[in-house]
């Protein structure tokens, strides 16, 4: 179960993008208003809309009644509604979070919210809503179980959801972007991240970068925006280096495009808005740092290419 305030935030954000659904979701809003008068958490179900490269949608034979989608109620250990949906996929179909990734259209927001029996009939303890999150298949699952059924998007029977799924193509593209920033001395600019639970590589040195936002048309848009927002950096030169994958705190695959960038400034003068600090390091020093993810491998690979012949 989740708190009324957390669920109100999800519903409010959803209705900003889907204002025509306010009447349909009025029972959910009313149930949340009533829940604010009690200290109890609010029951919801969280379902997953998983779409593969052929635009087939994952269904399961043991789905909650009427949906056909993998879904479950919150359990202790679920860090978010999205995590609950991922657990339902794993438990009911055998498909792991690492086989899935987010979609650029919805990211961590639900693709659909449907009133549950608790909102419609006010049945005590019944879920007041089904929060539906969408994922693409990043890797073909090794061993989905017999409950996993793949059906064309046109066969989705949930009316409100079917129209939203139609435009999703299932094609995986880089959602995050990072930059290997170097100077003419051959040093690399690294970012010391906050020691904070729930973020990627807390307390580690890593590359600057971040995630796709709705206004970004390309990974280059993402990295230019992130460099400007995080540190006020406008690179003198920006080029694609390679694509890689990392895992986010929920275990999802995150496709990342790595760029190389040339910049000659003083990091102490930068208006850093995230993390602890920025500093230049020669390649020989980087292995002695506490590093996040594939940072060492990326720096060493680029340094070998950049070495004079």
pTM recorded for the entire structure: 0.87
Query: Cβ distance 139 to 98 under 8 Å?
Result: yes
pLDDT per residue as tens digits for the range 204-261: 999 999 999 988 999 999 999 999 999 999 998 999 999 999 898 899 999 999 999 9
For the chain, residues classed under CATH 3.90.79.10 are: 4-165, 176-306
Query: Cβ distance 257 to 240 under 8 Å?
Result: yes
For 99-113, 157-171, 292-306, which range has the lowest pLDDT when averaged over its residues? 157-171
CATH architecture of 176-306: Alpha-Beta Complex (3.90)
Polymer length in residues for the chain: 309
DSSP bridge partners of 176? 211, 256
Query: Cβ distance 46 to 72 under 8 Å?
Result: yes
Mean pLDDT, rounded, of the chain: 91
pLDDT of amino acid 309:
43
Q: Which residues of 175-200 are buried (b: 16+ CB within 10 A; e: fewer)?
A: bbbbbbbbeeeebbbbbbbeeeeeeb
Residue in this structure with the two tokens 């990091």, named with its chain if needed: 267
Specify the CATH number of the domain 4-165.
Answer: 3.90.79.10
Give the separation between CA 265 and CA 245, rounded to whole angstroms.
29
pLDDT of amino acid 17:
92
Give the separation between CA 44 and CA 276, rounded to whole angstroms.
37
């Amino acid at each position: 179960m989740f708190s009324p305030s957390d669920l109100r935030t999800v519903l409010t954000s959803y209705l900003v993008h889907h204002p025509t659904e306010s009447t349909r979701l009025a029972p959910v809003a009313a149930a949340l208003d009533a829940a604010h008068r009690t200290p109890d958490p609010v029951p919801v179900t969280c379902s997953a809309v998983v779409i593969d490269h052929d635009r087939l949608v994952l269904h399961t034979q043991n789905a909650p009644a009427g949906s056909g989608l993998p879904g479950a109620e919150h359990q202790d250990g679920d860090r978010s509604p999205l995590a609950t949906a991922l657990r339902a996929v794993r438990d009911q179909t055998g498909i792991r979070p690492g086989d899935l990734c987010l979609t650029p259209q919805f990211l961590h927001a639900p693709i659909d919210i449907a009133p549950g029996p608790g909102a419609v009939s006010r049945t005590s303890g019944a879920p007041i809503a089904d929060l539906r999150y969408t994922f693409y298949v990043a890797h073909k699952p090794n061993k989905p179980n017999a409950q996993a059924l793949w059906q064309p998007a046109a066969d989705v029977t949930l009316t409100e959801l079917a129209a939203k799924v139609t435009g999703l193509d299932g094609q995986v593209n880089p959602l995050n972007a990072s930059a290997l920033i170097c100077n003419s001395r051959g040093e690399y600019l690294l970012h010391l991240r906050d020691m904070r639970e729930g973020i990627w590589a807390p307390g580690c040195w890593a590359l600057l970068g971040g995630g796709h936002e709705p206004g970004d048309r390309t990974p280059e848009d993402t990295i230019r925006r992130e460099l400007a927002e995080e540190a006020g950096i406008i690179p003198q030169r920006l080029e694609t280096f390679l694509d890689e994958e990392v895992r986010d705190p929920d275990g999802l695959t995150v496709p990342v495009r790595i760029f190389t960038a040339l910049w000659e400034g003083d990091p102490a003068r930068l208006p850093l808005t995230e993390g602890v600090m920025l500093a230049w390091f020669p390649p020989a020093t980087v292995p002695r740092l506490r590093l996040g993810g594939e940072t060492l491998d990326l720096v060493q690979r680029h340094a070998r290419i950049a070495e004079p012949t």
